[in-house]
Amino acid sequence: MLRGKKRGFGSHAEPCIIEKNKMKSAKELIKTVAGFTFEKLSVLLPRRQGLSIIFMYHRVVEKLPAGLHDPAMFVTVNTLEMHIREIARHFEIVPIDEITTVTGEKKLCAFTFDDGWHDNYDTAFAILKKYRVPATIFIPVNLVSRPRAYWFQNLWELASQVISHDHREQFIEYFRNRAPFWHPTGIGPDQIYDLANELKKLPARELDTIVQKGYELLGIKLDSTDTIMKWEHMREMGRSGITFGSHGMHHNILTQLSYDEKCEEVAKSLDVLRHAEVAVTPFFSYPNGNWDAEAVSLVKQAGYKGAVTTELGFNETFTNPYLLKRVGLHEDISHTPSLLWFRIFQALMARQPA
């Protein structure tokens, strides 16, 4: 359905969409069969010393947004509940700090959420309490309780508004001047995803301003709705087994920062969390999944017990605790039990020493 937003960009747009949808359906069928088979044979999952898996989510909503949006960010309530039920049948769900200390042959998993979205409190929290899931939320602490949105969220919303206002050409011209290696064929999920990746290469302090000026240029009002949860929400969640780890101070990509800036993102963020009277777990989540040797060293020096990446895979006793792999889950790739198990199968096959 999202790909239908590309309609109207050329006389061959509709046949192209139909062909892509056919390919997508065929791939999903293959994944469904493979996932169903893997789940039935899941008793064969290797019971190796310390084998574990960490699941990664972002946003949880009752239903997917109607307009253009990043499909990799969302999972629905029904799908999250299905995930928990399916996973609990084969894994023991534990807090993330138990992942790095396990020595037995149990199949353990942990649930994590990145960014601290408000819907983690409004929507996901009730589900986590219902199933008594001890999840960890990684949050950029300097953005807590502030009436603002992430620049990339504003970018997706702007693109959605541009389509409804028919400002495509102005949007493309403006952002091509800021991201010269971006060469879109239109405005759709693939193009906005590529644009966001190009903008991430720019200095982090410039990104909010770049997107805000895009709104001003196109005459579109920027929605200032609260995006990130508040401290009082975090304290309430902590009383029900939800812990909080650091996602930096400002969600800036560490590999693009100076040494002093990295220190602030890593060490100061943990200090803020520890003084905020919330349930803290001393784990770090690298913003955007980017890390380098200096960043890993600073995480260790700051006193964290471990850190998570976005690299797909299981973790074992030999996995570096500061480079833990995860399995990202969202609606597109895991909305049925068989697709979920195919994703878990992919993670098992990706297992490599860190």
DSSP codes, 83-103: HHHHHHTTSEE--HHHHTT--
Same domain, 238 and 130: yes
Exposed / middle / buried, residue 327 (Cβ in 10 Å: 0-12, 13-18, 19+): buried
pLDDT of 3? 34
Same domain, 168 and 212: yes
CATH code at position 239: 3.20.20.370
Is 7 inside a domain boundary?
no
Is 211 inside a domain boundary?
yes
Contact 350, 313 (CB under 8 A): yes
For 243-274, what is each residue's pLDDT tens digit? 999 999 999 999 999 999 999 999 999 999 99
Same domain, 74 and 159: no
CA–CA distances in Å: residue 13 to residues 163, 185, 192, 290: 16, 11, 18, 36
Same domain, 331 and 238: yes
Q: pLDDT per position in the chain (354 positions), as tens? A: 333 333 333 333 444 444 545 455 666 666 666 555 655 555 455 555 568 999 999 999 999 998 899 999 999 999 999 999 999 998 999 999 998 776 666 789 999 999 999 999 999 999 999 999 999 999 999 999 887 789 999 999 999 999 888 889 999 999 999 999 999 988 999 999 999 999 999 999 899 999 999 999 999 988 767 789 999 999 999 999 999 999 999 999 999 999 999 999 999 999 999 999 999 999 999 999 999 999 999 999 999 999 999 999 999 888 999 999 999 999 999 999 999 999 998 998 886 544
Neighbours of 311 (CB within 10 A): 18
Please give the model's pTM, rounded to 2 decimal places.
0.87
DSSP letter at 7 equals T
Q: Cα–Cα distance between 178 and 348 in angstroms, integer? A: 39
Cβ-based neighbours of 152, under 8 Å, separated by 6 or more:
70, 196, 199, 207
Q: Using the structure block, give the residue that is written with the tokens 């405005």.
A: 187
Where does a domain end: 218, 245, 275?
A: 218
Is 6 inside a domain boundary?
no
Neighbours of 181 (CB within 10 A): 9
**136, β-bridge pairs:** 112, 243
Same domain, 110 and 255: yes
pLDDT of 106? 74
Same domain, 204 and 242: no
- Domains held by the chain: number: 2
The amino acid at 128: L
Is 60 inside a domain boundary?
yes
Same domain, 62 and 189: no
Same domain, 53 and 158: no
CA Rg value for the chain: 21
Same domain, 211 and 261: no
- Secondary structure (3-state) at 307: strand
Which domain covers residue 205, as residue numbers?
Answer: 151-218
Is 8 inside a domain boundary?
no
- Secondary structure (3-state) at 313: coil
**136 phi and psi angles, rounded to 5 deg:** -120, 135
Same domain, 113 and 165: no
